[in-house]
Amino acid sequence: MRPRIGITCGYEIVRTESGYEYPRIGLDARFCDAIYAAAGEPVIVPPSESEDHLLRILESLDGLILTGGRDVPPERYDAAPHPATKTLHPRRAASDFAITRLADQRELPLLAICCGVQEWNVHRGGTLYQHLPDLTTQPRVSHTDGDDFSFHPVRLKSGSLVEAILEANPATVNSSHHQGLDRIGRDLVPTAWSDDGLVEAVEDPRRRFCLGVQWHPEDMPDDPAQQRLLAAIVQAGH
């Protein structure tokens, strides 16, 4: 049997030129391509207002990917909103946090990416930097927010899961975010850092496979090391 890997997706209200509005889900198809390439079966998890719906999907899965998106609502970590914060649609935010909690309870193999690792950290009681350009850390690292990715090295913790998968230290990653991990959530261990000291990956070593990265491996389809990250969640599902 191919491991079934759930993939969370975006949710937004779209308005056409004629003024018609409708809700739309969205996902980078390269997630599905990578899961297929690793001999897994991708399962898109649409945001749901019902935990029962999410639980029924989770019960059929062998692993879960929390994908990127807009910003985590700051009230979830008891912070006032920064002017630059642009939050996830409330339906997606509620669904993502519900499925993260349920996946944690079931100890499902988990790979969290960009906003996904931020959600995971907040779910575990951590906090976020809401706008990295406000930080005065040196040296300055370009954490570009948007479709124009920047690239920079990250230093990996020796012996960590992420180092074992990437097989390189330091590793080159892409960057498309303006927020980052501040206080690290319970039972999470930082395992990658950019040159400015920002935590770029966390793991839960108590679990068989629980890894979160701040970068976007799906957007590096020609990088074998980054594709191994996506293949690893399939392997963990066996």
DSSP track, 92-151: HHHHHHHHHHHHHHHT--EEEETHHHHHHHHHTT--EES-GGG---SS------SSS-EE
Residue 45 DSSP SS3: strand
**Annotated catalytic residue, options 143, 152, 177, 216:** 216
Q: Give dist(CA 37, CA 235) in Å, integer.
A: 12
Determine whether 20 is exposed, middle or buried from the number of CB atoms within 10 Å of its CB (0-12, 13-18, 19+): exposed
Q: Give dist(CA 27, CA 69) in Å, integer.
A: 10
Annotated active-site residue 218? The verdict is yes
Q: Which residue has the tokens 């074998």?
A: 224
Residue 5 DSSP SS3: strand
Pick the closest to residue 118 from 103, 107, 130 (CA basis).
130
Annotated active-site residue 114? The verdict is yes
Determine whether 195 is exposed, middle or buried from the number of CB atoms within 10 Å of its CB (0-12, 13-18, 19+): middle
Q: Give dist(CA 35, CA 95) in Å, integer.
A: 22
**Annotated catalytic residue, options 9, 114, 115, 210:** 114
Catalytic residue numbers, as ranges: 114, 216, 218
